[in-house]
Structure 1
Amino acid sequence: MELLAAEAPLTEIEERLRRARDTLPGTETEHLERAGRTVAGIHALFSRRQQRETELSGLVDTARDLTLPYDLDSLLSTITRRTRTLLGLDMSYISFRDPDAGDSFVRTADGHASALTVGYRVPHTAGLGEEAIQQAVPMWSADYLADRRMRHSEVLDEVVRAEGLKAIIAAPLRFGDDAFGVLYAADRNVRHFTVGEVSLMSSLGDMAAVAIEKTRTLERRHDEVLHLRSDTCRIAAELDELRSRAERHAALVDRALAGGSLGTLVDDVARAFDGAASVWDMAHRPLAASGTVPPAVEREMREATRTACARRTPAALSTGAWAVPVVAGDECLAVLLVHPGEPLREAGKTSLRLAAQSVAVLLQTQRGEAAATSPFRDELFEDLLVAPHRFTQQFVERAHRLRVDLERPHVVVVVRVEGGAQGRAAGWAAAYARRMDGLRSIQNGCIALLLPATDSSAEAAAVSAELGPLLDHPVTVGAAGPVSSPGLIRQTHQEALRCLDALVSLDSVGTHASTEDLGFLGVLLSDNRDAASFIHTTIGLVLDYDDQRSTELTKTLDAYFAAGGSPRRAAEALHVHPNTVSRRLERVTELLGEDWLEPERALEVQLALRLHRTSDVLQRKDPPPRDAPAGPEARPAAVPEAVHAAGDASPGASEDASSAIA
C-alpha cells in the first residue's frame, strides 16, 4: 500500500510480493495473492486514468489549435498530424467526397510513404470510410486486408497494400446532415483499438468537421468579400465614368444651346473621344468635321447609316469608326461619325449616343432659328420671282442681312410631290434651304429652292435623293441655272418649271432632270436658248478635233446623215474612199462615245450639226453691231429664228418646234 501510494512502478511492487511470499507461512499466502491482485488492479486503473488525462490534454490542445485562423490546407495538415500523434499510429489522412465525380479524393495526408498522395482518387462505395459514413460512428479493423466483414475495393486495397497498412480506423466528418469526408488513422502493424482510442477518434472527427466547416465558411465569406470589394471598385469606377460622361454631355448640350456653330461642337466631340469626328447629312454630304475620320466603302457607309437609324444605336465600321444616328423624335436628322483614339467599351456606346443628342439639339436649334427667319427668307424669294428687276440693289442688301449672297452662282430647283405629304415636304425644304444657305418658296403647289451651286443637274439629283426616301409619294424635280444676278432668277425659275412640266409630259413622273439633261429639249425650254452651249455639249469634241488637226469629221458627219446612214454613199458625196469614211466615223465614235448613233442621241447630233451650220452662215452674213448688248440677258444672235419660235411655244409643242427647226 505504501508503494502504491508512492506511485512506485508495478515491477517494484511485484518484487516486494515475491520476497514476502518466500518469508510468510503458507496460511497467509492466499491473503498476500489477493492483496497483490488488488494492488495491480489499482495500479492499472491509475495508469488508465493517467493515459486518459494525457489523451484529454492532447484533445484540448488539439481543440485549441483548431480554433486558430488557418487556411483550409493548413488546418487539414494540423488535424492529420494531431490525429497521428495522439493515437500513436504510423499514418493519418483525410478524404473528401466529390458528388459530381462519384468518388473521394485524398485532400491531405501525414506519415504516408508514397501511395496515398494528395489528389489520389478512390471509390467511396467500399471500405471503412463508407461504413463509417453510413453508420455515423467510427469504424475500425485490426487487419484491414484480412478483414472480410466489409466490402473491399481493388483500388483501395491496392493503396493499403502499397502503404503496408494493417490496422485502420475511420471517423466520419459530418456537419449537420452533410457527411463531406472521412478522417483516417492507420498503423503498419496488426492492432486492436481500445474503447478510449475509438472515443478519441470520434471526438477528433467531430472537432475536425466543425473546424473544417468553419474554415470553409470563412473562405467562402472571404471570397464573397473580395468579390464585393471588386464589385464596389468596379461600380465606383463606373460611377466616376458616368459622372464624367454626364459632365461631358452637359458641356456639349450647353455648347449647342449657346448657339455655337456645328464645327465647334464637332471639335468638342472629337476631343471628348480623343479622336476625330464628322457630321454627315442623310444624303451623305459632310456638314462639319474635326480631324480625319478614316474613309469607309460607300456601300458599307450607307448600310451602317441605315442600320444605325433603324435601330437607333451606334453601328461599327470596319475602319474602327462608329456611325451614330442623330435623332430628333422619329426623324433621323444626320449621322455622326466618330473615330475614337482607343477602342470603346460597352459604356462608350452610351457616350456616343449622348454626343449625338447634343448634335441633334444644335440641329434642332438651327432648325428653330430657320423657322423664325423662314417668313423673311420666303418673302425675299417670292419678291424675286414677282418683281425681279425692281430695286436690284435692295434685293442684294436684304439677302446679305439674311446671310445669302445673290451675286454668287445659284440654281433653281422646283419640286412637285405627287400625291400627299406636301406639308412634310415644305418643312423639309425650309430646313434644306437653311442648311444649304439658300431660299425656299411655294408657288402653285410646287416647292421652289434657290441654292448656291453651279451644276443644276447635280442639285436636282441631290434634292431627289434626300427628299424621296422621306416621303411615301413620288417626287418630280426640275432644275435650271446657274445664274449670278437677281434679275435672272425669275427667268431661271420659269425654265425649271418648264423642265418639270416636260418630265411630266414625257411620262417621267418621280424622276429628276435639269434643262441641260434634256438635250435639245432644254434649248427649247430655256428662255436664253443657248444654242452655242447645246452645240458645244453635243459635238464640241468633234469641232475641236477638226480645228486642231484640220480634219473633216464634221463634214463627214453631215454627209453621213444626208446619205441616210450609208458610208458608201457618203464617200461618193465626199469624193473619198468608203474606208476613209469608215475610219472617220470610228474617230467620231472615239470622241462622242459608242451610243452616238442611238436614235435619241443621233437626233441631238443632227440638230447640233444643223444649228452649227446655220450659225456659221448667219455669222458670215449678219455680223452683230459693235454696240450690241452683251451679258447673260442678251439674246444670242447666232440662234436661228426657228429655235426662238420653238422656245416661245409651250413645252407641249416641242415636237412641232423640232419639225420647224428641221
Structure 2
Amino acid sequence: MHSFPAYRAAALSVRQSAPDPGGTVSQDMSEDGVLAVLELLAAGAPAQEYEVLAERVRSAGAGPEHLDRLGSAIQLGLSIRTWTERQKQREAGMSALVDTARDLATPHDLDTLLKVILRRARLLLAVDMSYIGLYDEGERYVSIRAADGHTTALNVGLRLPGGTGLGSAVMANPSPFWTPDYLADERIQHSGEIDYVVKAEGLQAILAVPLSRGASPFGTLYVAERKVRHFTTDEIALLSSLSDLASVAIEKAELLDRTTALVAELEQHSTRVEAGLRSAQELSDAQHRLIQLVLGDCDLDTLARASATELGAAVQVCAANGTVLTSAGLLRPAGEGAGGAEEAACAGGADGDRAPDPIESLLVPAAMDAHAAREPVALAGGLWAVPISAGTGSNLGTLLLRPDRPDAVQDERLLRLVAQVMAVQLLVESSRTAIAEGQVRDDFLADLLASPQRPPHQLEQHARRLGINLGKPHVVVVARPEGDARGKMAIWASSYAHRLSGLKSMHNGCAVLLLPGSDAGCAGRAVSAELSPLLGHPVTVSSAGPVAGPASVHHGFQEALRCLDAMTSLGVIGRSASVRELGFLGVLLSDNHDVEGFVDSVIGPVIDYDQQRFTDLTRTLETYFEAGGSPTNAAKKLHVHPNTVARRLERISELLGPQWQQPERALEVQLALRVFRVRHSLRMRDRAGPGADGGAPKAQET
C-alpha cells in the first residue's frame, strides 16, 4: 500500500501540537492536504490511500471549510485517477486491437480465421466464451459456425430460429445488443432451443455485435459471461471495432477460399488438358505408325499384329459375312456357339453336317450391335466389338479384341483409329479378300432378283465362277423386321448366308436369302427362330420354292413377296409361312398357279386310291359335303346303305388323316374337290365331244 510522504505527515503532526493564533495552522494543514492529494495522484496510489489522507487531516483538527476543500481535492483526484485508468485501458485495448488487426491480416482459411477472431474477442473483453453466427444466403438461415471457450458440443452448428435471440435483433437492426442476464431478460424473443443451449453452457451476460459487409449484415459476433455482467460503453465500442476488422478479414478469407478453389479447379483443368494433349499426341503417333505400315504395302496380318501391340490386346478381324480374315493373339470367345448345323440341315445344304465355329455365335450379335451404334461396343467377358466401315452404311467387317489385362480400360478414340486404319487396309486388299467376294455375291443375287434380268447364260456363267450351282434346288426366304433394326439385318444376313453357303441381298429393309434346300417352310422357320431373339422384336418371314435356274429365282422372289403381303393382310405378322403352307391362297399367289399340285397335296391320296382300286371315294366325299356332313343323307343320295358310307368315310380318314373334317382343312378339301371335278369334266368333254358325260365309271366299294 502506498502512503503519503513522510515530511507531509511530520508537518501535520507539528502543526497539530502548536498554538494556532488566527487559524494559520489550519490553513497550512489544508494546503498540505491538497499537495498530499496531488502526490498520491502522481504516485498512482489506490483509492483507499485518499481515504487515509482525509482521516488524518480530520484528526489534525482542520476546520469544516478546509475539510470541504480537501474533500473536493480528493474527489477531483479520484476522478483524474479514474480517467487515467480508462485511458490506460483504452490504450491497452487499442494496442490489443492493433495486434488483432496484425493477426487478421495474415492469410488464413475461413475456419482458422474464425478461431483467431474468437480467441482475440475473449482476450479483449476478458469473457468466458465467444462465438460467431453466419447467415447462409442459399439456405436462408443463421447458424453458429465457430465457438471458443464452450464446454458442450451443442453450440457449434446450431441453427438459430428466425426472429428469436440476440442475433435476430442484431440482424434486423444492425447495432450492438447486450443483456446482463439472458434468460431473465424479457426484452428478448426467447426460443426453447436457444435457451436450452444457454442453460447447458451456464451463460448469463451476452453481448452481440453485427458483422457487416457494407451496410448489409452477414453474421453476428457474440461474447458471453457465466455471471451477471454489465458491459461498459468502452467494451461495446471495442468489440464493435473488432467486428469491423473481423468483417473485412472474413470477406477476404472467403475471397481467398474462392480463389483457392478456383485455382485448384484451374490446375485440375490444366492437368486434364495436358493429359488430353499427351493422349492426342500418342494417338497421332499411333496413327502415323499404322498408316506408315499401310503405305508400306504391308499385309493384313502385319497390320493386325501392330494393332494388337498398340491396343495391348488380342485382336481378330472378321469380314462382313463372318469370315475370320486374321488374328493376333488368343481371342477366347465368351461362350460356345449354337445353331448353324440345324439350319443348314433343315435347308438341305451341302454343309448341313458342318460343326459351327464358336466365334460365329459371338460375332453375329456383337457385329450387329457395333454397326447399329456405329461406335465401339463393350461386350461381356471383357471383349470389345468395333465396326470397320468406309462411309455411312458401308460394312467392311468387325474388329474383335480382348485386352491383355482384364481390368484394362480401352480408349475408344484409339479403337476408332485402329478400325479406320483397318478399313483402309481392307479397301486396299478388297480384290484379294473375302470382302470383295461377299460384295460380288450380294450383287449377283441382286441381279437374279432384278427384272428384267440379265441373259440367263450370263447369269449361269457368273454363278459357276462364284461356285454356285443354280441347277440344284434352292429356296427363297424374305425376312421383314417388325421394329427398328438399324442396320442389324444386313450384318446378320451376311453371316447367315455365309454359314449356309447361300446368298443374301437387302430389299426395302428386308433381308432376302437364297439358300440351298428344297423345304421352303423349314428354311423360313429356321430364319425366324434365329433372327427374332437377336433383334429383340418379331420378324415376319415368307418363303417360296424350291427353285432351280436363274429365271425361277426371280419368280420365287416375287411369290415370297406376295406371300409376305398376304400374311400382312391376314394379320399374321411376326410369324413364318411358305407359299405352299398357305394352301389355296398359295395357289393364287404363285406365278405358275400349280393347281394340280394343290389338288394332289389335299386329296391326292383319295384320287390315287380310286384309280388303283376302282372305288368311288371321291364321289362319296363330294356327296358327304353336299349333304351337310350327314352320312345318312349322303347314303340316300348315293342309293347305298348308311353303313357303306360310314366305311368309306373311315377309309378316307385313313388316307387324309383324322383332321380332314376340321373347318380349315375341310374348306381346302372342298376347294380341291371342286377344282378336281371341273378339271376332270373339261378334260372328258374335250375327249368325247359335246354332250359327253363327265363322270367316270367307278366300281362300288363295299
Alignment TM class, shorter chain as reference: 0.5 to 0.7
Distance across 1 between alignment mates of 2:413 and 2:280: 10
Is the CA contact 1:94–1:107 (under 8 Å) kept in the aligned structure 2? yes
Residue of 185, 205, 211 corresponding to 1:173? 211
Q: How does 1:92-111 map to 2 (within 5 A)?
A: 92-98=130-136, 103-111=141-149
Identify the match of residue 228 of structure 1 among 266, 269, 272: 266
Q: Please name the residue that 1:153 is paired with.
A: 191
Q: Is the 1:414–1:447 contact (alpha carbons within 8 Å) kept by the matching residues of 2?
A: no
1:108–1:118 Cα contact (<8 Å) kept: yes
Shift of 1:456: 11
Shift of 1:414: 8.6
1:268 equivalent to 2:306? Answer: yes
Q: How many Å apart are 1:229 and its aligned residue?
A: 1.7
1:450 CA displacement: 2.6
Task: Give me the whole-angstrom Cα distance separating, in 2, the residues matched to 1:138 and 1:446.
Answer: 107
What is the match of residue 142 of structure 1?
180
- 1:113 and 2:151 aligned: yes
The answer on whether the counterparts of 2:503 and 2:513 sit within 8 Å (CA) in structure 1 is no
Aligned partner letter, 2:505:
G
The aligned amino acid for 1:20 is V
Aligned twin of 1:328: 390
CA–CA separation in structure 1 for the residues paired with 2:184 and 2:162: 20
Residue type of the alignment partner of 2:448: V
Give the 3-state SS of the residue equivalent to 2:65 in structure 1. Answer: helix
Measure the CA separation in 1 of the matches of 2:307 and 2:559: 39
**Which of 448, 457, 471 is the matching residue for 1:417?**
448
Alpha-carbon displacement from aligned partner over 1:515-567 (angstroms, at most 9, x marks no partner): xxxxxxxxxxxxxxxxxxxxxxxxxxxxxxxxxxxxxxxxxxxxxxxxx99xx
Deviation digits for residues 438-479 of structure 1 (CA, Å, limit 9, x no counterpart): xxx993697446358999989995398565138889979799
What is the identity, as a one-letter code, of the residue corresponding to 1:419?
A
Equivalent position of 1:530 in the other structure: none
Alpha carbons of 1:466 and 1:95: their partners in 2 closer, same or farther (altered >3 Å)? farther
Match of 1:196 among 234, 239, 248: 234
Instruction: Trace 1:442-453 onto structure 2 (pairs within 5 A).
Output: 443=458, 447-448=462-463, 450-451=465-466
Change (3 A) 1:442 1:166: farther
In 1: Cα distance, 2:323 partner to 2:559 partner: 22
Determine if the alignment matches structure 1 residue 88 to structure 2 residue 88: no
Structure with bigger gyration radius: 2
* Cα distance in structure 1, aligned partners of 2:55 and 2:87: 27
Unaligned runs of 5+ in 2: 1-37, 338-359, 475-493, 517-546, 561-611, 614-702
For 2:422, the equivalent position in structure 1 comes to 359
Question: In 2, Cα distance between the equivalents of 1:12 and 1:236?
Answer: 80
User: Residue 243 of structure 1: CA displacement?
Assistant: 1.1
Question: Aligned partners of 1:110, 1:341: CA distance in 2, in Å?
Answer: 59
8 A contact 1:92–1:186 mirrored in 2: yes
- Give the direction of change, closer, same or farther, for the CA distance of 1:358–1:504 in structure 2 (3 Å limit): closer
Letter of the structure 2 residue corresponding to residue 311 of structure 1 = A
124, 127, 130: which is aligned to 2:165?
127
Letter in 1 for 2:367: T
How do residues 501-520 of structure 1 correspond to structure 2 at under 5 angstroms?
501=550, 503-504=552-553, 507=556
CA distance in 2, matches of 1:65, 1:226: 26
Correspondence list, 1:143-542, <5 A: 143-176=181-214, 179-295=217-333, 298=360, 301-330=363-392, 331-342=394-405, 348-367=411-430, 416-419=447-450, 443=458, 447-448=462-463, 450-451=465-466, 461-462=497-498, 467-469=504-506, 499-501=548-550, 503-504=552-553, 507=556
Q: How many angstroms does 1:127 deviate by? A: 0.6
**Using the alignment, how far apart are the partners of 1:19 and 1:151 within structure 2?**
55
Distance change in 2, residues 1:187/1:174 (3 Å): same
- Corresponding residue for residue 11 of structure 1: 48
CA distance in 2, matches of 1:474, 1:110: 80
Are 1:138 and 1:201, in contact at CA under 8 Å, matched by a contact in 2?
Answer: no
Spell out the pairing of 1:587-606 with structure 2 (5 A cutoff). none
Q: What is the identity, as a one-letter code, of the residue corresponding to 2:416?
A: R
SS of the aligned residue for 2:505 comes to helix
Q: Which residue of 2 aligns with 1:594?
A: none
* Contact 1:475–1:509 under 8 Å retained in 2: no
Residue in 1 that maps onto 2:99: 61
One-letter identity of the residue aligned with 2:419: A
Partner amino acid for 1:19? R
Call closer, same or farther: CA 1:18–1:251 in 2, change over 3 Å.
same
Q: What's the TM-score once normalised by structure 2's chain length?
A: 0.56
**Are 1:257 and 1:362, in contact at CA under 8 Å, matched by a contact in 2?**
no
Question: How far apart in 1 are the matches of 2:256 and 2:452?
Answer: 71
- In the other structure, the counterpart of 1:599 is none
Secondary structure of the corresponding residue to residue 107 of structure 1: strand
What SS is found at the alignment partner of 1:319?
helix
Aligned to 1:75: 113
Tell which deviates more after alignment, 201-210 or 289-298: 289-298
Q: Which amino acid aligns with 1:418?
A: L
C-alpha distance in 1 between matches for 2:452 and 2:382: 39
Give the deviation of 1:186 after TM superposition: 0.8
Look up the SS of the partner of 2:203 in the other structure: coil
Q: Does the aligned pair in 1 maintain the 2:502–2:514 contact within 8 Å?
A: no
What per-residue deviation string (whole Å, max 9, x for no partner) do you get for residues 352-379 of structure 1? 1110100111122223799xx99xxx9x
In 1, are the aligned partners of 2:317 and 2:325 still within 8 Å (CA)?
yes
Query: 2:370 is aligned with what amino acid?
Result: A
Q: Which residue of 2 aligns with 1:554?
A: none
Say which SS state the counterpart of residue 382 (structure 2) adopts: coil
Q: Distance in 1 between matches of 2:103 and 2:452?
A: 88
How many Å separate the matches in 1 of 2:65 and 2:457?
152
SS of the residue 1:269 aligns to: helix
Deviations 1:19-74 (A, max 9, x none): 23443333333322222222222111111111111111111111111122333333
Change (3 A) 1:336 1:442: farther
* Separation of aligned partners in 2, 1:266 and 1:502: 43
2:390 & 2:217 partners in 1: Cα distance?
Answer: 65
Q: Give the distance between the partners of 2:186 and 2:254, measured in 1 at CA.
A: 37
Distance across 1 between alignment mates of 2:300 and 2:459: 35
TM-score normalised to structure 1 length: 0.59
Q: 1:20 aligns with which of 35, 57, 66?
A: 57
State whether residues 180 and 205 of structure 2, in contact with CA within 8 Å, keep that contact through their aligned partners in structure 1.
yes
Letter in 2 for 1:110: D
CA distance in 2, matches of 1:291, 1:245: 22
Q: Which amino acid aligns with 1:18?
A: E
Deviation per CA, 1:544-599: give whole Å up to 9, x if none.
xxxxxxxxxxxxxxxxxxxx99xxxxxxxxxxxxxxxxxxxxxxxxxxxxxxxxxx
Is contact 1:127–1:152 with CA below 8 Å preserved after alignment?
A: yes
* 3-state SS of 1:125 partner: coil
Contact 1:143–1:167 (8 Å) recurs in 2: yes
Q: Residue by residue, what CA displacement relative to the aligned partner does 1:246-293 show, whole Å, maximum 9, x if unpaired? A: 211221122122221111111111111111111111111111111222
Tell me the CA shift for residue 313 of structure 1: 1.0
Calculate the aligned-residue CA RMSD, in Å.
4.0
DSSP 3-state at the match of 2:147: strand
| Matched-pair contact (CA < 8 Å) for 2:505–2:513 | no
| Distance (Å, rounded) in 1 between the aligned partners of 2:428 and 2:552 | 37
In 2, distance between residues paired with 1:312 and 1:159?
65
Whole-angstrom distance in 1 between the partners of 2:266 and 2:318 = 45
